[in-house]
Structure formats: structure tokens, C-alpha cells
Amino acid sequence: MTIKELMDADIFTLLNDGNNHDTVLTGCYCCDLLSIAMGHAPEGCVWVTVMNNVNTLAVASLAECGCVVLACGVVADDAFLSKAKEQNITVFKTDLPVFDAALKAHAYL
């Protein structure tokens, strides 16, 4: 499944389009501790987290995650969205809990 196909599935709300539509999503990854995610998030993953600060995006970029899903209804502020745009990272949001969000995305992979 590509990021474009995840967008089209319409299961999450798109917050930022990273213009990486053809990136192939490899799986789902759930983690809120950034150093753990930095070392273990698989390349191309759908990273589901509640950590909504700009450092999440730095990790997503360096670890080459496919996209970020902010779960549990956490809010992305202007700094977060600005950074996501600058780094071309696709970000979604959902009110679902972390596990349920990952499960839902996984069903489409």
C-alpha cells in the first residue's frame, strides 16, 4: 500500500500532505519514546504516536518513516504542522487510541 492509497482509504484525517504519495508503507509501528522509535521504527512504517512535538517529526524524517499518525485526538500545533510541511512528512490524525489506529491501518496494508 502506498501513502496515496492510505489517503484514499479515508480512515484518518490528513493534516499534512508530504507529497510522497508513491512511498510504499511497510507496516505499522507504535511508540511514544523517541529514542526507542529512532532505533527501531522500520523504514516506510506508519508510525502511530501521541507525541505531538516537532522532535517526533525529526525522528520520523531521520528514520525514514512513511508517515505519522497522531492518535487519541492529540492536537498538532502550528509549529508541528509547519515543520511537517518543511520536512515533507505526511501526517494524519485520528481520535482512535494508538493500538486501534494501527490495527485499522494494518488492515489496509
Partner 1 sequence: MNSNDSLHFQYVVSKDDFTHAGSASSDVKNKLKMMNVDAAAVRKVSIAMYEGEINMIIHAYGGTIDVDIYEDRIVMCLKDTGPGIANIEEAMQEGFSTAPADVINLGFGAGMGLPNMRNNSDEFNIESEVGVGTTVTMTVYFSS
How many residues lie near partner 1 (CB under 8 A)? 20
d(CA 47, CA 69): 6
First to last CA, the chain: 5
Q: Please state the closest distance from residue 76 (CB atom) to partner 1, in A.
A: 14
24 binds partner 1 (CB under 8 A): no
Q: What is the DSSP string of 28-84?
A: EEE---HHHHHHHPPTTEEEEES--SHHHHHHHHHTT-SEEEE-TTPPP-HHHHHHH
Q: Please state the closest distance from residue 94 (CB atom) to partner 1, in A.
A: 19
Given the complex with partner 1, which of 16 and 52 has the nearer CB atom?
52
38 binds partner 1 (CB under 8 A): yes
61 binds partner 1 (CB under 8 A): yes
d(CA 40, CA 6): 22
58 binds partner 1 (CB under 8 A): yes
Q: Please state the closest distance from residue 20 (CB atom) to partner 1, in A.
A: 15
